[in-house]
Chains A and B, each alone.
Chain A
Amino acid sequence: MATLGTLASGLGHDLRNLVMPVLLRLDVVAATTDLPEKARMDLASIRQSILRLQRLAGGLRLLATDPFDQRDESQLTKLPDWWADLQPIVVDALSPHATVEATIEADLPVVAVPPGTLAQILINLVMNSRQAMEHTAQPRLTLRARAEDGRVLLDVDDNGSGMDQETRRRCFEPYFTTRARGYATGLGLSTGRALMNRYGGDLVLGEEQEIGTTFTLVIPVRVQTPLVEGTPKRVRLMVGDPRQLAMLRLIIRHRGFEELPITSTEGAHLTICDVDTLPRVLNGSVSTATNGSVNSIIAIGTPRPEPTPDAIRWVDPRDFSVLDDVLH
């Protein structure tokens, strides 16, 4: 499996390197003046195919990451995008006449498990389902995600041969397998559950059902500690350095905060400024309080000799990771 992972990683990387040049060239061709309508439609169709290929490359890359060391990966997953990357691979992993139905709504909350981890657990479930559906006339895999109590429950259901009592009892045991000796087993249910537990989630076998088997991934939703009670959390950025600004915008976007335009007269819950703009913030020339409550001020830089109110938190601009922690 490690070899396959390495191959998948390389393949995913190579595919991506090919996709971007094609997209660029498509733009160039599409800019040709007096392009016939049919050609324009053909180009649009080619672009859609290439974007799907890009998704596939993304999915392959997810499968190639090390599920035990995801430190370099994003710790959050947007399930609809994640599924878009994986769907072609899941379809390919099943037999050609199998159908895949998925209900993964766009408004699901962001979950706090790396996409690669979820991908590998899912593929393991899919491979088990494939084996179970080997003699099923119309094999069908169904995925359904729903948000509930700070978690997203992802049901993975097949209409295969199901599991006997002993298998149901033992399926999470390490090394337990119903496959023929020598068959590659991939991640395993035991490992899959342990990985989910690591993130505060779980992998659960569903109730016995008449046909097939259902597993549920219990996936914790991203926790966002609000800075101020009540929503929405509005932030005003008054930072001159464009790079600091870009970083702050990224962090704020990930936290789900709302950035107020500088010209807005609405009050902010939090103002982030630098040493140059701090005086304007302090003398009240910029509206910072909302509903009479005291707002928080984060200043980027080194404190000047003049005393400043204690309410200000100072952050060293050389270390944006601290900023991330401060906002959390």
Chain B
Amino acid sequence: MSCTDGLAGDYLGGGVAAMETVPFSVMCIDDNILLIDALESRLTMEPGFTGLHRVEDLSASVEAATRFQPSVVLLDIDLPGGVDAMSILDQLVAGLPASRVLMFTGYPSGDLVRRSMSRGAWGFVSKGTTAETLISAIRSVVAGQAVIELEE
């Protein structure tokens, strides 16, 4: 019996062509510690993954990104405490063009997608999608493709 529901055991370390071993790091600007830890654990299975950086102080996210120069920044739009994700996006796009921002939200909308992409985000992922979709989105952005993944 084979599981066709996408369990990791059925694909070999990421499902991406073996030649694609571009090294990449990820920074998570998110308050969901469970997610960040789980993502780090999952990403260690991906070829090329060099590390995940956590942001301890959300209000100092841009400084942290400047320090670590991540390949991909996973930016939670639903940040608590009045932290403005769009403002962080603007600063990252302006100051760290080599770090590609992937927006992450539980409340996707066409307007939010348009605003994010127009302001320079490289991707947009809804929290209602699967783990496979999130990992694939990160890989795509690393590979230079822009990604929009809504629950469809």
Contacts and interface: CB of A to CB of B under 8 A. Distances in A.
A40 B37 CA distance: 23
A40 B3 contact: yes
Interface residues of A, number: 49
Contacts of B109: 72-74
B39 A24 contact: yes
A53 to B, nearest CB: 11
Interface in A1-44: 12-13, 16-18, 20-28, 30-32, 35, 37, 40-41, 43-44
Interface string B77-89: 0100000000000
Contact of A40 (B7, B34, B148): B7
Contacts of B114: 247, 320-321, 324
B150 to A, nearest CB: 8
Given A21-B35, A41-B1, A61-B107, 4 more contacts: A21-B37, A44-B3, A74-B108, A324-B110
Contacts of A247: 113-114, 117, 146, 148
Interface of A: 12-13, 16-18, 20-28, 30-32, 35, 37, 40-41, 43-44, 47-48, 51, 54, 57-58, 61, 71-75, 78, 81, 242-243, 245-247, 249-250, 318-321, 324
Contacts of B45: 27-28, 31
Nearest to A20: B35
Contact of B9 (A21, A25, A40): A40
20 contacts: A17-B32, A17-B127, A20-B131, A24-B41, A24-B131, A24-B134, A26-B7, A26-B8, A27-B131, A28-B42, A30-B8, A32-B9, A40-B3, A43-B7, A47-B7, A48-B5, A74-B110, A242-B144, A249-B148, A320-B117
